[in-house]
Each structure stands twice: as C-alpha cells, then as structure tokens.
Structure 1
Amino acid sequence: MIRAMLFDLDGTLVQTERLKAISYARAAHELCPETVAEAAVMDAYREVVGLSRQEVATALLERFGLESRAAALMQEFGVQEPWQAFVQVRLRIYEHMLADPDLIRSNCWPHSVALLHLARRRGCRTALATMSRCRQAGRILDLLGLRQEFDFVATRDDVEHAKPDPEIYLLLSRTLQIPPHECLVIEDSPAGVQAAIAADMHVIAVATPFTRERLHTSCLLPESHIVDDAVELLPAVEALISRLRRGAPA
C-alpha cells in the first residue's frame, strides 16, 4: 500500500538540472574561456547530476583543470576552498536565471506536476526531497504555485548527508509518520534512486537527457520502473501500485 508520494525537485518536477548544467558550464567557461567549452562541461555534468554541490563542483574543477583558476578567486569571495569559489561564480549565474519567472515556468515537467496534483486529490501524503538549498527551492515552488501541494519540504539545509545517502528520505518518513515501505519516490537521477532504495522505499525514475543513460546502465531499477517518455509516468505509477495491492513483487 502506498500512503505517501515523495518527489525530487530538480529534474523531476522542473528542468532546473538543465539550468544548473548551463550555469556550471558558463561558470567554467568564465574561469578559463581560452580552453573550456560550455558544451564539454554540459556533457561532463551528466556524470555528476544529483550529487551534492561540493561533489559536482570538485569533479568539474578536476575534470577541466580549473583548480588554480578557482583558487585565485577565494579571497574575493571570502571562501576557503577552490570548489567554493567556483560555486560562487556559478551561483551568480544561476540566481540570475531564477530571477526570470517565465524561464522557470517554461521549464516545469507537466506530467510530474500532474501526478503530484493527482496524488493530492486521492488523499495521498506528499513531500519534497531536494538537494537544492531552501531559498532556491522555495522560490521555484512559489513560482510554480506548488508549495501548498506538499505536506513537508526537505532541502539540503535539513540534512547532513546528500543523496545518495538516504537521510533526506528517512527524514520525510519520520516527519510524515509513514513507514518507508509505504512510500513511493519519484526521482530522475541515479543518486536520488540510490537514496530512495537505501531508505527501503519504492521508486519510479523519470529519465531526462542528463540521466537517461546512467539510469539504464546502473541497473539500480528494473526497466519497468524507468520512464523514458514522461507520458508513461502515470501508467508506470498505477501499474506499480496495482502490483502492490495484489501482493505481487513491485
């Protein structure tokens, strides 16, 4: 029985993973315009999507040899590590994107949002588990008019460990007072899927251009639990819930 539906935000309800990828790509190009192409950074981002801000920034700095360029900006930003300086450059770009309401609204995933509304109408508890910071997540939810659709919102500010650690999903389980095996998670990244599985929850993954290949090659989920076409999201969820009601393996 599924009593709660838990959603990721970036890449699942809204295409902010694409916007984040663009912001990292532009930031890397800004650090080293003579050798770093934005397209190459966008491609590299696919390998780290869903990980923590520190992990993403560190991986991209190492991949493109930008540590010294970022280190030169540490004093300017008042930070202690090169990855933190890189993040500050990237956040300046990303915050500019978030300031454009039309850009955010035009990047929502309608089928995931429709599933959220349906879950609410059916009396299912709903919650958000995002690795975005509270302020950024709140702005996106407000622009999309979705804040009131969640019983609880958990962000990176609420947990010590980022996905793929299950901490954020276990926090939602405790807060909603619903056991993990009665929760269904809607995710888009391998890291998010790993977190949900580690929390002993059911998972449906909605593949995006940034996560599709790794979702299929990671073998984390059966193919029936990976949705390549968003139109198939609701049928996939209904099929899983039906199997659980019959007592069949999910």
Structure 2
Amino acid sequence: MAMKKYKISLVIFDMDGLMFDTERIGVLGWHEAAKSFGIEIKQEFLRDMTGLNVKSIEKVFKKYYGNDLPFYDIRDLRVKYVLDYIEKNGMPVKPGLFELLDYLDHRGIMKAVATSTERKRTEKYLTLAGIRERFDAIVCGDEVERGKPEPDIFLEAARRTGKRPEECIVLEDSANGIKAASRAKMFPVLIPDIRRPDEVEELVYRELKSLHEVINLLESLKEEVVL
C-alpha cells in the first residue's frame, strides 16, 4: 500500500484536563455536590463521563443513579464549586500551554478549541486565562448535535478553519476525546490527566507527558506526517 503524506496545519485543543487543570477540581466538585444530596459519587461514573457534554453526562448519571435524583441541581452545585475555586485561586493553566501557543503562532499553524463544556463557561475560562483571542475557532459541547465520542465537534473545528481532517492534530486527555478524534480521521495525541485511558491505546497516534512535548512532536513532523 502506498504511503500517504500530510502536512499539519491545525492543532485542536481539548480544554478541561488538557489546557487547564480543572478535571481534578471538577472531581472534588462532584463529590461535594453529591454529599448535599446524600449520595456518593462512583469512580465508574467519573471514568465514563470524562470528556462528555452535559446531555451525555446526564445519561451516564442516570445509568448509575436512576431517574429520581435531580441531575441538573447536582451538576449546578458542582459547577459552582469549580467556579468558586477558580475565582479564589485563579485559572489553573497546565504547564507548557503558553509556550505551545507561542510556538504555533511562530509556525503559522492554526489553533482551535473543541470542548464538551458549554459556550458560556468556555468563554469564561479562556478569558480568565488570557487566551480567548489566541484561537482561530472555538467549538463547544452545546453547539454540535452529537458530542464526543462522536467526531462532530472536531469536524466542525476543521470546517470553521477551512482544514481537512488529515491536516489536524487533536490534543486530548480522555478516552471519549481520543475516540472522537480517531473517528474524525485526525491524528489523536494523548496527554493523560487524572487517569490514563488504556482502553483507547490502539487509537492513539502519539502519547506525550505534557504540552511541552507537543513542540518536539511538531518539530519532528515539520515537513509532513507519513502514514
């Protein structure tokens, strides 16, 4: 079979757990919110809901807790916990993010955010971090019909920037995000956060330890990606 060559022209960033160290805060938020309703958050729920949009999280929640508990009330408490933490402590930016954005600017490689988080909170996080205007496109979980692990959100990011899927690298920390990037026929790069999603190992193009290493990866792919 003939080798195919591609040149990377768009890097798509997940947000929570990838650019910002907000997944850990979110987990604490789930536990605190659940206590208010007399329940304990299961690790299986936290595993399965990572990377999903709110509608999909609701389905996972009901799978583990049934239909009687007020999911949106619990989720609202969790969101409040996270926002209160950020207001008090600042936006927890992951190491290497600013350097990577500077590198992409220097190289002329476009940048997009594709996050399962809704638009309002996404705008707030990016603004607090001082990077809202540094992206060529921002696609949020409440703006696509099907959330991760379906490919819609990444395909929309490519569409808005005028890029083909095979020109795109996706930076993700979750299994659902890696599945979505793979289904979009892009190059999924895994940077694990709280938990390494072993179940998607075969879908990963590269696994890195931090955002710092993305620069080295892109340098090694400076001319073209060969498959």
Give the TM-score category using the shorter length. Answer: 0.7 to 0.9
Report 1:194-233 matches (<5 A): 194-210=179-195, 212=196, 214=197, 216-222=198-204, 225-229=206-210, 231-233=212-214
Bigger Rg, which one = 1
* 3-state SS of 1:2 partner: coil
Q: Corresponding residue for 1:172? A: 157
Report 1:23-42 matches (<5 A): 23-33=29-39, 36=40, 41=42
Following superposition, the deviation at residue 194 of structure 1 comes to 1.2
Structure 1 residues 41-50 or 6-15, which shifts more? 41-50
Note the alpha carbon deviations across 1:194-243, whole angstroms, 9 max, x for none: 11111111121111123x1x2x3323335x7112355534323433x24x
**Runs of 4+ that moved beyond 4 A:** none
* 3-state SS of 1:47 partner: helix
In structure 1, what is the Cα distance between the partners aligned to 2:114 and 2:11? Answer: 11
In structure 1, what is the Cα distance between the partners aligned to 2:113 and 2:44? Answer: 27
Determine if the alignment matches structure 1 residue 136 to structure 2 residue 114. no
Following superposition, the deviation at residue 91 of structure 1 comes to 1.7
Q: Percent identity?
A: 25
Determine if the alignment matches structure 1 residue 15 to structure 2 residue 21. yes
Structure 1 residues 54-63 or 168-177, which shifts more? 54-63
Using the size of structure 2 for normalisation, the TM-score is: 0.85
* 3-state SS of 2:111 partner: strand
Contact persistence 1:141–1:147 (CA under 8 A):
yes
* Unpaired runs of at least 5, structure 1: 71-84
Using the size of structure 1 for normalisation, the TM-score is: 0.78
In structure 2, what is the Cα distance between the partners aligned to 1:196 and 1:181? Answer: 11
* Unpaired runs of at least 5, structure 2: 1-6
Following superposition, the deviation at residue 23 of structure 1 comes to 1.9
**Amino acid aligned to 1:120:** D
**Amino acid aligned to 1:45:** L
Following superposition, the deviation at residue 153 of structure 1 comes to 0.8
* CA-atom RMSD in angstroms: 2.3
Say if 1:112 and 1:46 are closer, same or farther in 2 by CA, change over 3 A. farther
By relative contact order (CA 8 Å, sep 6+), the higher-ranking structure is 2
Structure 1 residues 180-189 or 112-121, which shifts more? 112-121
Say if 1:229 and 1:97 are closer, same or farther in 2 by CA, change over 3 A. closer
**Amino acid aligned to 1:219:** E
Contact persistence 1:98–1:140 (CA under 8 A):
no
* 3-state SS of 2:203 partner: coil
Contact persistence 1:181–1:202 (CA under 8 A):
yes
Note the alpha carbon deviations across 1:154-192, whole angstroms, 9 max, x for none: 111221110111111111111111111111111111111
Q: Corresponding residue for 1:47? A: 48
